[in-house]
Amino acid sequence: MADKLTASVRDAEKAKEPASSPSNMTAQSTSATDTNSKNSVPDDASKNPVGFIRPSELVELVKAYDSDADEDLLNKAYVFAMEAHGDQTRQSGDAYFTHPLAVAAILTELRADPATVATALLHDVVEDTEVSIKEIQSNFGEEVARLVDGVTKISRIELRDEASKQAENFRKLVVAMADDVRVLLVKLADRLHNMRTLHHIQKSEKRRRIAKETMEIFAPLAGRIGVQRIREELEDISFREISPEAHATITARIDDLQTHSVGGVVELANVLREKLHEQGLKAQVTSREKRAYSIWRKMSEKNVSFDELADIYAFRVIVDSIPDCYLALGVIHSSWRMIPTEFDDYISAPKSNNYRSIHTAVIGPPSKDGRRQRIEIQIRTFEMHETAERGVAAHWQYKDPGQRKERSVEIVTPGGFDPYETPRRLVEMFQAGEDPDEALQYAKLELFQDQVFCFSPQHRVIALPKGSTPVDFAYAVHTDVGDQCIGAKINGSQRPLRTALKTGDVVEILRSENAPVPAEWESIAVTGRARSAIRRRIKKMQNDEHLVLGRSIAESVFTGAHLRFSVKGVRAGLKKLGKKSVEDVLVSVGRGDLPVHDLIEAVYPGASIESEGEIQPGSLREFKPRVAISGLTPGVSVKMARCCTPLPGERIVGIRQDDGAVTVHTIYCDKLAQEDPAQSRWLDLQWRNQEDEDTSAITRISATIQNGVGVLSEIAGIIARYGISIASIRLQNRSKDFVELLMDVEVKDARQLTQALAGIRAAPSVISAERTGSESDGQL
């Protein structure tokens, strides 16, 4: 096998025309995006050498920054992938192998380790050819096989176009990159090349969908691990597809500006170099390129015109050491007046992706027309510049340099930077039981925002999106800290939890083990992590409340129906109810989603009957020993009118129906007045002495209550204190703030109901509570 691959490498070297430079190669290697066309084509088309880079040239690119790179690994991966893809092509008509080769070249620009470059060459062979992961492992080892498998699993989800699959795709990505961040680097390089060739996709709707996903997910992810050059290019290409007119307009203005301002830029750069040189500072001074998307974003965020932004010159000063950074800052500030609101020191307080620089802005010397130019300046060391450009890849170190076959890569970063922090936070959201689509939205919030940097009392730096509150800070420290938060001190003073934090704030979280989590916290929180944790805890508290309430209601109704309630019995009825556990059943009852009558039917089939469209427990239908009404003919069928639900102690009247049954109404019933039955149908009825009779009746209470945690339990507790049993409960007309509660309750008489209603209305969470009728008459 080794001899065959060696021969194939030699053949590949001879077959290819002289290659262009790596940067040209990546631009020339055109292809479609992730959803590629790989149809067989005539031999002459598939062998087109345009855009190819030779195996030896790829090896040299890697060895330029890693002299101990495994040449055999790279050569084998090159030939293996080329032969596996064979005659496959992309939508551009290019040989498909140009794509993995372009991805590998992009990663060499980031100085990726040989295993990552090999993974780039092989990243599509398992998905798009007959090659298996086992074959990858046997030929290239465990490390490369694991990386290829991680990229392959993501790609398999990406091939599905449905919008509903985006959340699952993103979940796969964050899980894979939490295991090894190099999977993300390969995926970012893959997406970058696909975006460079996005124009080959014919359907504009598909191009926009891919561009939007890139802007919302892949570009922010590149920023979070510090790969700014990839982030900026992904943003610009996506912006061009999503807003082509805005992109074209701004690009034209930038080109025109650069043409007319080049002299001023060169002059200012020379002045800056001279001032630094006069103080003995060796510095590299360069102008910073203005990008269309960056300008558009600033125009939107700051509500300024292009001309206002265009009037700003931007430079980067790179020096040898950190002390030289601050010396350069002193020279600049002593030469020109600084703009206080534009100063940020990311050396003393690095960003979460380990970005370090000093940002400042000054009012520079006057131009030829007499106007003073605003100058933005970034000051950093060469090491910081490498980190800013290559991100996490700038800190790779190789272990066991003398044993190339067994070398592995590790990330060694200054300042405690953890490149896996963002992936782990995102994985936590997806693994915490959140709805995938909801978790995706929270993840976008986590990724797609600028940051402020705050401190704990122990001097730990916490990076948060702009606009974050102490609630976000608490959950960023730890989920337990957020769950126990009851207040916060900012810079030593207690402040409201909705206070927006600023860079430099020292935040102390006040905690209590029994702290509640108000529902409004979700609107206070800004970060996806905090919102996800708050939503999760509220759901758990509501679930616990519904569980207790559901069990109480079920036990009450079972007892009223003279049936024994048991967990074993409910478990036996799970299949009929379509539930997975007894807890699910009781929660559904407490939430009002499952009528308790359905539960009785599942546990005791035949114990309930359908009466005029309403299913009721059999014992609640029969009113025999508990009805104490004088004036009825023995044996006659009696129905209690549900429009007014007569109760013992109220004045009542009977109306004889055509079938001989009697319907009992209160004397003041509105429905009775509307129907105005013939006088011959009226019967004079009254309740017998209640002290001698064990009487009771079912009536309905309608209450509007605040939609909060613990409210249902509070109402149930009030009703229980008055000795009233709840027969059924239903929630309707739910909103974020309020919910309507309908309860059928069993009371002894009208006086007991009046007292209970007074107690319910007195509860702070109750807006209103009234006795009401229901839809149908209940036969007694």
**Active-site residue set:** 127-128
Angstrom CA distances, 114 to 226, 228, 432, 709, 719, stand at 20, 22, 35, 55, 71
Read off φ and ψ for residue 97, nearest 5 degrees. -65, -20
In this structure, the number of other CB atoms found within 10 A of the CB of residue 304 comes to 11
Residue type, 318: I
Q: What letter does residue 200 receive in the DSSP assignment?
A: G
Opening angle at CA 388, ends 286 and 380, nearest 5: 55
Q: Return d(Cα 616, Cα 632) in angstroms, integer.
A: 24
In this structure, the number of other CB atoms found within 10 A of the CB of residue 188 comes to 26
**Contact present, 123 and 96 (Cβ < 8 Å):** no
Q: What letter does residue 435 receive in the DSSP assignment?
A: -
Q: What angle in degrees, to the nearest 10, is found between the helix axes of 528-560 and 582-591?
A: 90
- Is 700 strand, coil or helix? strand
Those residues with Cβ within 8 angstroms of residue 405's Cβ, 6 or more apart along the chain or in another chain: 70
Q: Return d(Cα 461, Cα 349) in angstroms, integer.
A: 7
Closest by CA to 127, choosing from 153, 104, 96, is: 153
In this structure, the number of other CB atoms found within 10 A of the CB of residue 570 comes to 23
Q: Return d(Cα 90, Cα 94) in angstroms, integer.
A: 6
The answer to whether the Cα torsion of 188, 379, 416, 447 is positive or negative is negative
Q: Return d(Cα 698, Cα 644) in angstroms, integer.
A: 11
**Contact present, 191 and 218 (Cβ < 8 Å):** yes
> What are the beta bridge partners of residue 537?
none
Q: What angle in degrees, to the nearest 10, is found between the helix axes of 244-278 and 292-302?
A: 90
Q: What letter does residue 217 receive in the DSSP assignment?
A: I
Angstrom CA distances, 400 to 72, 141, 147, 405, 584, stand at 17, 16, 20, 9, 55
Q: Return d(Cα 703, Cα 741) in angstroms, integer.
A: 5
Give the DSSP H/E element, type plus range, for residue 314. Answer: strand 312-319
E strand intervals along 358-441: 358-366, 372-381, 396-399, 408-411
Burial code (b: 16+ CB inside 10 Å, e: under 16) for 216-241 equals bbbbbbbbbbbbbbbbbbbbbbbbbb
Read off φ and ψ for residue 269, nearest 5 degrees. -60, -40
- Is 3 strand, coil or helix? helix
- Greatest alpha-carbon pair distance for the chain in Å reads 117
Structure tokens at 500: 């927006």
Q: Return d(Cα 690, Cα 706) in angstroms, integer.
A: 37
Residue 252: exposed, middle, or buried by beta-carbon count in 10 A (0-12, 13-18, 19+)? exposed
Structure tokens at 386: 């490498």
Q: What letter does residue 218 receive in the DSSP assignment?
A: I
Q: How many CA atoms lie within 13 A of 602 on its CB side?
A: 24
Torsion angle (degrees, nearest 10) of CA 136, 142, 148, 151: 150
**Contact present, 325 and 358 (Cβ < 8 Å):** yes
Q: What angle in degrees, to the nearest 10, is found between the helix axes of 114-122 and 133-140?
A: 150
- Is 652 strand, coil or helix? strand
